[in-house]
Amino acid sequence: MEGLWLVVLVIFVMALSVQSQLKTGFYSTSCSKAEAIVRSTVESYFKKDPTIAAGLLRLHFHDCFVQGCDGSVLIAGSSAERNALPNLGLRGFEVIDDAKSQIEALCPGVVSCADILALAARDAVDLSDGPSWSVPTGRRDGRVSLSSQASNLPSPLDTVAAQKQKFSDKGLDDHDLVTLVGAHTIGQTHCQFIRYRLYNFTTTGNSDPTINQSFLSQLQALCPKNGDGTKPVPLDKDSQTDFDTSFFKNVRDGNGVLESDQRLWDDAATRDVVKKYAGTIRGLLGLRFDIEFRQAMVKMSSIEVKTGTDGEIRKVCSKFN
């Protein structure tokens, strides 16, 4: 019995260890203005272009899924992570670089690019009328960034099984998957990534039968068969710049824009979570999503973090020291 308790205790301590390596207010004495600088920088870009919020959130997500949340996606270079196919549409790099240069002028060599990115993602959600949360900090920047390692990033073509596997590999469960995909409430994609669903789904020459018919005609008008592939398409047709639960109602009603989003309705486990967030009691359900999104973001932003003496604190976010 004693041995069993020891095993339970060891597992509990291991689970706590990543969380405890990071802590809220990590820079409160070493660079007390760091979080305020990130906030004011994100705010100034957001005022000019509210769609930058989704860009910053996606940048943090893509960073955490490759090499952990270590700023590896910020490195520039032909073989670097940000040049991998799934990362070609990423944006918001200039916001992180701007915040970093301001912080470096005040507290050189103290605040990591990985932490700036985690804070910027939180501020982006908050500015979009979403929840805010305390971001545990203390991440260090990685010294590896390879485009070849980005193949495990979730893709809009993924089945639910593939999505579940990719999230599970990072310690995230099915509930986390649906909650985090809810970030698409403020995202956008481009015609080239959804056109196959509109005109030639599974090479049949027909459209994807799961798309609501009236929405299909809206999408076809937005993305004509031989039109501009780079034309942006909101992932939430009702409120693209508001962080709310309408994304889940869209998935429920066959109005999901990406195939991977709509597929969440096909699987019993993920459908239950979508249903929960898409429920009719607006205030209560919106509140629940807000609370659970905060929790899922703290969990995701702790993936494989480097702390202590691992990694480095970059002077410039786009290059190793």
Residue 70 marked in a binding site: yes
Active-site choice (60, 62, 175, 190): 62
- Structural tokens at position 3: 């041995």
**Chain centroid, CA 272 distance in Å:** 21
Beta bridge partner(s), residue 136: 24
Q: What letter would DSSP give residue 134?
A: P
Closest-CA residue to 54 (of 95, 83, 24): 95
Residue 68 among known ligand-binding residues: yes
- Confirm whether residue 81 is marked as ligand binding: yes
Buried b (16+ CB within 10 A) or exposed e, 93-119: bebbbbbbebbbeebeeebbbbbbbbb
27, 35 in Cβ contact below 8 A?
A: yes
Q: Binding residue per annotation — 112?
A: no
Check whether 104 is labelled as a binding-site residue.
no
Does 214 appear as a known binding residue?
Answer: no
How many Cα atoms sit within 13 Å of 9 on the Cβ side?
6
Residue 154 annotated as part of some ligand binding site: yes
Rounded to the nearest angstrom, the gap between the alpha carbon of residue 28 and the centroid of all alpha carbons in its chain is 26
Q: Is 86 among the annotated ligand-binding positions?
A: no
Q: Is 175 assigned to a binding site?
A: no
Please confirm, yes or no, whether 190 is among the known catalytic residues: no
* Residues labelled catalytic: 62
Question: Which residue ranges are tagged as binding site for substrate?
Answer: 154
Question: Which residue ranges are tagged as binding site for heme b?
Answer: 184
Question: Which residue ranges are tagged as binding site for Ca(2+)?
Answer: 63, 66, 68, 70, 72, 81, 185, 236, 244
